[in-house]
Amino acid sequence: MLNRKFADLRHAPDLDPRLLAYDPARLPQAVVAVGPSARRKTKGGVVLAEPGFVWAIFFFPGHWYFLTSVYDDRGSLVAHHVDLCAPSEERDGMLSCLDLKLDLIVQPDGGRSWVDQDDYDREVAAGTISTAWQDAVARTVEAIDRDCRAQAFPPPSVMRYRPPHVG
């Protein structure tokens, strides 16, 4: 089943999210601290959340993904987590999107891996992701892979960002 993801992480109570900043007109649109009672989250073998981590969340209007830059409790980049999703929209006063399950993890050394392909395939088989959306996902994967090879992804606005000191 597809789920909606919100910029303030209200969809992820296990992260004990603490919204530090939100401005839908700026990049990143949201900065969220992972709270003290958060449970550890890993994906593709990479620890993406522990208490004290900070997530900078970047939505790109009209694109079929959003990107979360994950920083550890010392402010060091852990990874960029790319969620493929339907284009973002405001819902209940917060930017959000419908998660299409397929994700990309980009590590600071440039290593990258697509994860959750099996979840995406199950949604396709269940008919919850239309053929038109599958085509958009395929084009997005191709474009991101091409930009990664050209060292043009993540975008400069993401690469310039530095998180606030929290704690």
Q: How far apart are CA 31 and CA 17, in angstroms?
A: 10
Residue 144: pLDDT over 80 = yes
pLDDT above 70 (res 167): no
Per-residue pLDDT at 12 exceeds 90: yes
Strand pairing report for 17-22 and 94-106: unpaired
Whether the CB-CB separation of 101 and 115 falls below 8 Å is answered with no
Tell me the pairing of strands 46-49 and 54-59.
Answer: unpaired
Q: Is the pLDDT of residue 166 over 80?
A: no
Alpha helices (H) along 29-164: 117-126, 131-149, 156-160
Question: Which tops the pLDDT comparison, 164 or 10?
Answer: 10
Please give the domain boundaries of the chain with CATH numbers for all domains: 4-160 (2.40.380)
Average model confidence (pLDDT) across the chain = 96
